[in-house]
């Protein structure tokens, strides 16, 4: 690990200023992703700004009946919150499907959204990787790709986004509140927050360097059965091969998003309209442009069957 200096920020403005003014500085929240990346020198900040004492650890109701989740609310506290369990059950279930209890105790809402891919070639610093080292090539293409994306990928990168929580946020159409380096606040719809890889897989989200996430805002709750199904090679403590997050009403209509298939939570609003027609019809719309590899074409059938199970569960 490269040597680095460390300080605790006392205000959001101070944290933003410290990181925005130093290209080698980064925020640290729970540290469960950034420290791992620093240990293997994929991330090499020379200065860490700890944001844990900024008081952004509250979940508050919004005027329109939604919830504002502070950036530093831990995954454990968010999943266990009575209002979240009652009104946003999908979010609670998606979070507890991820990582382990100990990790969720430290992991934060903002850090979870910004966690980096689990593509094994990204972690192997002996291999070319456009995300880690732009322009070096993609070792996954032509390599072992069981875990990789089947849709939305590019000639530069076929990695997936690993967050379970983000799949639920996409179903709810949450938004991410930030403070930009110039001090201005903005709100980014979750649909636009994570990017597809295109020619710049190193650019993973809409936020700028030094931009600080203050909160995630949930719109008012959606009625219906909230279901999250994650399929993985191991029953726990593993990332999704694919996952399905859905809210389904008694008449069969609803909303659905997929994890483990793309560089971002995968939702196509038009597919929601097919939910009442069943899993095959919905999958056909969601994955119409799928371009799987020989190692991961099974994911298309896996999505269809998992969605079938989700729809059956919703119908009781
Ligand atoms: C073994 C293991 C298994 C895991 N399994 C799963 C899983 O199954 N599903 C899943 O979804 N996740 C899983 N995770 C990932 C885990 O959920 C993330 O590591 C965690 O959510 C990151 O949150 P953090 O607060 O620790 O982020 P940090 O590591 O502190 O930060 C991550 C990044 O976010 C930036 N950042 C943090 N807060 C802010 C902010 N407020 N504004 C701007 N930038 C910020 C940091 O600078 C850094 O770049 C796993 C992790 C491990 C280690
Ligand atoms: S898929 Fe993306 S993260 Fe994986 S090796 Fe290729 S460029 Fe790197």
- Please work out whether the CB of residue 71 comes within 6 Å of at least one atom of ligand 1: yes
Listed as ranges, residues in the chain with pLDDT below 50 are: none
- Please work out whether the CB of residue 201 comes within 6 Å of at least one atom of ligand 2: yes
> Is this structure's pTM higher than 0.85?
yes
CA of 8 to the centre of ligand 1 (A): 18
| pLDDT at residue 101, rounded to an integer | 96
- Please work out whether the CB of residue 42 comes within 6 Å of at least one atom of ligand 2: no
| pLDDT at residue 236, rounded to an integer | 83
Q: Which residues contact 50 (CB under 8 A, 6 or more apart)?
A: 6, 7, 8, 9, 27, 28
pLDDT digits (tens, 9 = 90+) for 154-179: 999 999 999 999 999 999 999 999 99
- Please work out whether the CB of residue 140 comes within 6 Å of at least one atom of ligand 2: yes
| 15 phi, psi to nearest 5 deg | -60, -45
> What CA–CA distance (Å, rounded) separates 137 from 157?
8
* Closest ligand 1 atom to 104 CA: 17
> What CA–CA distance (Å, rounded) separates 219 from 94?
17
CA 76 to chain centroid:
16
Question: Got the DSSP string for 168-183?
Answer: HHHHHT-EEEEE-TTS
Q: Whose CA is nearest to atom 8 of ligand 2?
A: 129
- Please work out whether the CB of residue 16 comes within 6 Å of at least one atom of ligand 1: no
Residue 238 burial (CB < 10 Å; 0-12/13-18/19+)? middle
- Please work out whether the CB of residue 130 comes within 6 Å of at least one atom of ligand 2: yes
| pLDDT at residue 237, rounded to an integer | 85
């Amino acid at each position: 690990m490269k040597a680095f200096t460390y300080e605790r920020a006392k205000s959001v403005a101070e944290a933003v200023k410290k990181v925005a003014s130093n290209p080698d500085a980064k925020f640290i929240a729970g540290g469960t992703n950034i420290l791992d990346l620093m240990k293997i020198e994929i991330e090499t900040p020379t200065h860490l700004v700890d944001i844990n004492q900024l008081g952004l650890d509250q979940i508050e109701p919004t005027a329109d009946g939604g919830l504002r989740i502070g950036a530093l609310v831990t995954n454990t506290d968010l999943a266990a919150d009575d209002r979240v369990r009652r009104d946003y059950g999908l979010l609670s279930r998606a979070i507890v499907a991820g990582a382990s209890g100990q990790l969720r105790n430290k992991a934060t809402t903002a850090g979870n959204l910004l966690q980096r891919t689990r593509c094994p070639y990204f972690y192997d610093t002996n291999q070319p990787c456009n995300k880690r080292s732009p322009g070096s090539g993609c070792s996954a293409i032509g390599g072992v790709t069981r875990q990789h994306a089947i849709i939305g990928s590019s000639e530069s990168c076929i990695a997936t986004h690993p967050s379970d929580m983000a799949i639920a946020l996409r179903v709810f159409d949450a938004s991410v509140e930030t403070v930009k380096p110039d001090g201005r606040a903005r709100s980014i719809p979750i649909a636009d927050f994570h990017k597809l890889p295109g020619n710049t897989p190193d650019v993973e989200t809409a936020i700028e360097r030094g931009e600080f996430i203050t909160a995630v805002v949930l719109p008012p709750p959606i009625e219906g059965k909230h279901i999250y199904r994650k399929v993985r090679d191991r029953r726990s403590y593993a990332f999704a091969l694919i996952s399905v997050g859905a809210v389904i009403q008694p008449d069969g209509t609803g909303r659905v998003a997929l994890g483990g298939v793309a560089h971002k939570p995968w939702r196509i609003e038009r597919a929601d309209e097919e939910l009442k027609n069943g899993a095959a019809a919905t999958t056909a719309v969601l994955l119409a442009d799928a371009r799987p590899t020989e190692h991961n074409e099974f994911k298309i059938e896996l999505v269809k069957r998992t969605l079938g199970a989700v729809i059956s569960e919703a119908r009781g």
